[in-house]
Amino acid sequence: MSIQVAVVDDHALIVQGLQRLMEQQPDIKVVATYASGSALLDGLKQHLPDVLLLDIQLPDKSGNELARMVSKLYPGLKIIALTSMDTIFHLKDMMQHGCKGYVTKQAGEEVLLEAIRKVHAGEEFMEAELEKRWMKSLLKNRKEQAVQTPLSRREKEILKLIASEYTNQEIAEKLFLSQRTIESHRYSLLQKLNAKNTAGLLRIAVQMGLVEFE
């Protein structure tokens, strides 16, 4: 029996392209497609595929959150992150949240097909290039654990406001807190995210899906 695949991506063009591709594969079949995280969660209740191709940038939910939820609800389901983000940050993030594979849209079809088949067979799959970079970063930094430190609710809230061009003082007024408190949080954010300044915070906020500019 062929591998049953579900696709989650808000880009119809990509979903349709993938369907067309899979049609030509004798052993792979697209059984469902979703354009949002909530649609996916609803759909999985009806029918469970073998493999899930999951985009990170979705309109409603962030990719890691979704991966965490889905892999917890359906431990047998193999998730492959399929995204345009080719950073170690995201690779790690997704693999640590239950994904079994990571493929970028920069990669060709053959890579994706290989990923689906390997992951279905129980293996893990990452693009060679990314895996190499990951290994290198592991060897370099032992303090990577610091980077893993998750952000608290308050920190995320403040990060969002920073990204929205508010100054510490304005954030303090908005949240009825002392300006010094915001400074503290901001300092923690810089530490946790290993950023140097506001620009760095913004970059990571975008990468984490906390803020959307586009």
Partner DNA sequence: TAGGAATTCCGTATTTATACTTAATTTTAC
Partner DNA sequence: GTAAAATTAAGTATAAATACGGAATTCCTA
Residue selected from 148, 149, 167, 169 as contacting a second copy according to rule CB under 8 A: 167
Taking CB under 8 A as the binding criterion, the range among 68-76, 84-92, 148-156, 171-179 that sits at the site for a second copy is 84-92
Question: Shortest gap between Cβ of 177 and a second copy (angstroms)?
Answer: 19
Do the beta carbons of residue 149 and residue 208 sit within 8 Å? Answer: no
Cβ neighbours around 42 below 10 Å, total: 11
List binders of a second copy among 136-165 (CB under 8 A): 162-165
> Does 195 contact a second copy by CB under 8 A?
yes
Residue 190 interacts with which of a second copy, DNA, none, CB < 5 to 8 Å by class: DNA
Question: Shortest gap between Cβ of 44 and DNA (angstroms)?
Answer: 21
Do the beta carbons of residue 31 and residue 79 sit within 8 Å? Answer: no
Question: Shortest gap between Cβ of 205 and DNA (angstroms)?
Answer: 13
CA 76/CA 39 separation, integer angstroms: 20
Q: Where are the alpha helices (DSSP H) in 5-124?
A: 12-23, 37-46, 63-73, 88-95, 109-120
> Does 45 contact a second copy by CB under 8 A?
no
Q: How far is CA 200 from the centre of its chain?
A: 19
Residue carrying structure tokens 């029996």:
1
Beta strands in 84-207 (DSSP E): 101-104, 125-126
CA 178/CA 211 separation, integer angstroms: 24
> Does 77 contact a second copy by CB under 8 A?
no
Taking CB under 8 A as the binding criterion, the range among 7-15, 67-75, 120-128, 129-137 that sits at the site for a second copy is 7-15
Question: Shortest gap between Cβ of 167 and a second copy (angstroms)?
Answer: 7
> Does 192 contact a second copy by CB under 8 A?
no
Question: Shortest gap between Cβ of 193 and a second copy (angstroms)?
Answer: 11
Residue 184 interacts with which of DNA, a second copy, none, CB < 5 to 8 Å by class: DNA
Would strands 3-8 and 28-34 be described as parallel, antiparallel, or unpaired?
A: parallel
